[in-house]
């Protein structure tokens, strides 16, 4: 049951992080993919191009954050339910002394 609570806490943290980081990632991705960003990449060379590649990859990861956190929270609830069922079974199968 403790593992389930930890999974729920981690899932909530990832969800909040993704929701807070999404606007900044969208702005950075918009700048890199705009015509001004393309011009800057051509003028500045490989360093700017590598940065924009990283920005696009990170934006894709951040976009998957809410889905990942939902899966973590679901697994956490399943672990809590499983732990509860196991503890009830243990109590029922104890032999009274």
State percent of the chain over pLDDT 70. 92
Residue ranges per structural domain of the chain = 2-84
- pLDDT for the residue numbered 10: 94
Helix (H) or strand (E) holding 38: helix 35-44
CA–CA distance, 13 with 2 (Å, rounded to integer): 17
What does 54-86 look like in DSSP terms, one character per residue? Answer: HHHHHHHHHHHHHHHHHHHHHHHHHHHHHHHHH
Dihedral of alpha carbons 46, 47, 50, 55, sign: negative
CA–CA distance, 88 with 24 (Å, rounded to integer): 47
- Tell me: the pLDDT tens digits for 21-62? 888 888 888 888 887 777 766 776 777 778 888 888 888 888
């Amino acid at each position: 049951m403790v593992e389930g609570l930890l999974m729920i806490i981690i899932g909530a943290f990832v969800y909040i992080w993704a929701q807070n980081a999404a606007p900044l990632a969208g702005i950075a991705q918009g700048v890199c993919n705009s015509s001004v960003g393309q011009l800057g990449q051509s003028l500045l060379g490989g360093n700017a191009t590598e940065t924009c590649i990283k920005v696009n990859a990170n934006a894709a990861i951040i976009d998957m954050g809410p889905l990942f956190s939902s899966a973590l929270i679901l697994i956490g609830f399943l672990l809590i339910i499983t732990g509860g069922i196991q503890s009830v079974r243990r109590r029922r199968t104890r032999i009274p002394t």
